[in-house]
Amino acid sequence: MEFSVKIREATAEDRVTWNTFVDNEDGNYGHYFDWKDIYETSGVQFIPLLMETSTPQLVGILPIVKENGPLYSVLHAYKGGLLLSKNLSGVERHKTILALVKHIDSNYSRRCSRFELYEHFPSLNQFDDEPNSALIESGFRFRYDKLTGLPCKFVVKLKQPFEDTIWRGLWSSSLRNKLKRAKKRGIVVIHDQDLDYLDTFVDMLSETYKRHENAPPTRKLIDAELNTFKGKIKLFVALRVNQPIAAILCHYYADTCELSSLGSWARENQDATALCYASIIEDACNAGYRFADLTVATTQGMVFFKERFKGVRIPYGSYEKRYSITRFFIEMVPVVFKEIRRDKLYIWKIRGRLWDRIING
């Protein structure tokens, strides 16, 4: 029988089947169906798409968020990414992706400027920096810079006992001395089990996002996440003289601890952040987790910080499909102005060319 696949939007009745698929196919924290409750609590449209054969057999899922604006909408599938069954052949994967994108284009792309997604790989050995041919064939652009190796992520392989395998066996003496000096300066990291510092963390997270000129997640979204995933989230806080200076919210699933959201009062608190990383990795290792996911690095500065913890570096390119040049232009105008504000020196260097374009067209 020729392979064919049907695409449909999952309902609440599919929750158990969906989440079981995530666990069996080595999905990540962002794949769980429960995110539908979280986003819809905040008024954001969540579209859980599943792919199944005529049997029917579930062979893939893609959770999508649609951000609706007055002038355009944007489709994002960045928390979980596209997760397909490991049992699919190369040809079957190709056909499934083509059918999926065709379905999205027909049903969800109205008024959209673009669609951005990540391709999820269930194994550390399967990551590749080559574009997916089915996505390219479907009109996506592959956004990954081979020259810089960005974006990328780092995943630390954990093995007990922590002191022998990670502290002395993996990390450099330079990193260990840096962490020791941070402790001598009075910085301590606590697991905030009662979430006493949650309000402070939300404020620090907002401050961090603002430093990068991005919109932070709302308190309502964070509260919904904490309520939905009780028992699968931990908050670690770095204190100096009993005052919080940095904090990280961690997600736990299967055999992985994901250092999800980082907040700090100032960029200068990197020692506190490093100590948070070390404490979280030690805690996850002692708890029996096999991996610590340090999440995505998009700049060389982030790479420099994360690679000191000796994780496996993984290419993490995204795919982008543009539906409307006009809407895309409207969306990108504030982004361009933000980049100009960030790099005024560059604008000063090319001021002659800019002036020539103004005068001569």
The rounded Cα 284 to chain-centroid distance in angstroms is: 19
* Burial (CB count <10 Å: 0-12, 13-18, 19+), residue 81: buried
CA gyration radius for the chain?
Answer: 22
Cross-strand partners of 237: 190, 247
Rounded to whole angstroms, the Cα distance separating 255 from 157 reads 11
Count Cβ atoms below 10 Å from residue 353 Cβ, excluding itself.
Answer: 9
pLDDT at 222 over 50: yes
- CATH number for the domain whose boundaries are 159-289: 3.40.630.30
Q: What is the pLDDT of residue 316?
A: 86
Rounded to whole angstroms, the Cα distance separating 357 from 361 reads 5
The rounded Cα 283 to chain-centroid distance in angstroms is: 22
C-alpha dist (Å) from residue 113 to 71, 140, 284: 9, 13, 40
Among 142-156, 271-285, 321-335, name the one with the lowest average pLDDT: 321-335
Between 86 and 80, name the one with better pLDDT.
86
Q: What is the pLDDT of residue 358?
A: 41
Q: Which two tokens mark 153? A: 């992520």
Q: What is the pLDDT of residue 277?
A: 98
Q: Residue 306: which of 148, 152, 143, 190 has the closest Cα?
A: 152
Cross-strand partners of 83: 61
What percentage of the chain carries pLDDT values higher than 70? 90
Q: What is the pLDDT of residue 335?
A: 59
Across the range 204-220, mean pLDDT stands at 85
Count Cβ atoms below 10 Å from residue 80 Cβ, excluding itself.
Answer: 22
Q: Do 6-144+317-323 and 159-289 show the same overall fold?
A: yes
Enumerate the domain spans of the chain.
6-144+317-323, 159-289
Are the C-beta atoms of 232 and 246 separated by less than 8 Å?
A: no
pLDDT confidence tier of residue 12, bands split at 50, 70 and 90: very high
Q: What is the pLDDT of residue 354?
A: 45
Model-level pTM?
A: 0.87
Q: Residue 221: which of 35, 3, 361, 4 has the closest Cα?
A: 35
Residue that is written with structure tokens 């500065």 in the block: 301
Q: Residue 321: which of 113, 93, 99, 25 has the closest Cα?
A: 113
Q: Which two tokens mark 288? A: 């029996």
Among 18-27, 101-110, 125-134, name the one with the lowest average pLDDT: 125-134
pLDDT at 264 over 50: yes
Q: Which residues, 6 or more positions from 191, have their beta carbon under 8 angstroms from its beta carbon?
A: 234, 235, 236, 283
- pLDDT single digits (tens) 135-167: 999 999 999 998 999 999 999 999 999 999 999
Residue that is written with structure tokens 């052949």 in the block: 89
Q: Following CA atoms 30, 33, 34, 36 in sequence, which dihedral angle do they give, to the nearest 10 degrees?
A: 90
SS (H, E, C) 316-349: CCEEEEECCHHHHHHHHHHHHHHHHHHCHHHHHH
Q: What is the pLDDT of residue 4?
A: 92
Residue 64: phi, psi to the nearest 5? Answer: -120, 140
SS (H, E, C) 181-247: HHHHCCEEEEECCCCCCHHHHHHHHHHHHHHCCCCCCCHHHHHHHHHHCCCCEEEEEEEECCEEEEE
* Range 6-144+317-323: architecture per CATH: 3-Layer(aba) Sandwich (3.40)
Q: What is the pLDDT of residue 176?
A: 97
Q: Which residues, 6 or more positions from 298, have their beta carbon under 8 angstroms from its beta carbon?
A: 150, 151
